[in-house]
Structure 1
């Protein structure tokens, strides 16, 4: 499997892991009677700060998947993974790093680090767009 295909699969798997974690915690809250089955909002408002951060981290992945995953998919579908392979795992690492930082803290330093991880993804995506169109 190319680094591009690995990164795309990893991005999807990471997004799925965050969803499974959120739904596991929600299921526990329902089973223990802490929250009614219909008592959840998409942003986990009214729950712990961690649950709100988890909802946002998952939403960030969903929001980024069409853009970053789309570029990876285009490279795979057009047999141009040579454009994306060298930085594909860096993109995945930056995405996972962004999510992990989001889950840990919302302190000013954490927010700056999270933005840096996101900026890395943006720079990589812009470069890939340029390369995919120009070659």
Structure 2
């Protein structure tokens, strides 16, 4: 049950980011400033405010990582539910790094912010890789 908490936190963060984009676009349609079909699949950065573009990009980053995150959690629970519980610190560490990366992504694109995002992303990858290697070694040892 505890393993559901980081998944829900990740999902809520992803939903909040896309909600900013949805609210902005819906508002523009309702006030008659933009037709409902005016947003292409690949929106132009100049067509929307920078905050909306950054929220959209941060949302896409979350979506890209979600399958890997869920796959690692699923593999841990299949292998050993107790092992999954023992790794909660790392799991929440991943979620915390993900939330920090998204927050910084939304704040801006200054070079220092992009560098910090890269560091936070590297931390997420390191956690998932560590957990994956441990899962694999457990599978091979069985």
Cα distance in 1 for partners of 2:120, 2:126 equals: 10
Q: How many residue pairs were aligned?
A: 134
Aligned residue for 1:127? 130
The structural deviation recorded for 1:83 is: 5.3
Tell me, what secondary structure is at the counterpart of 1:121? helix
**Contact 2:20 2:52 (8 Å CA) reproduced:** no
Aligned residue for 2:77? 76
The structural deviation recorded for 1:40 is: 1.1
Aligned residue for 1:66? 67
1:115 equivalent in alignment to 2:114: no
**Contact 1:75 1:83 (8 Å CA) reproduced:** no
**Contact 1:44 1:55 (8 Å CA) reproduced:** no
Aligned residue for 2:29? 30
Any stretches of 5+ residues in structure 1 without a counterpart? none
CA-based RMSD of the aligned residues comes to 1.6
Alignment of 1:3-14 (within 5 A): 4-14=3-13
The structural deviation recorded for 1:22 is: 1.6
Alignment of 1:39-118 (within 5 A): 39-45=38-44, 46-78=47-79, 79=81, 80-82=83-85, 84-118=87-121
Cα distance in 1 for partners of 2:103, 2:69 equals: 18
Cα distance in 2 for partners of 1:54, 1:19 equals: 7
Cα distance in 1 for partners of 2:101, 2:41 equals: 20
Bigger shift: 63-72 or 117-126?
63-72
**Contact 1:95 1:118 (8 Å CA) reproduced:** yes
Using structure 1 for the length normalisation, give the TM-score: 0.90
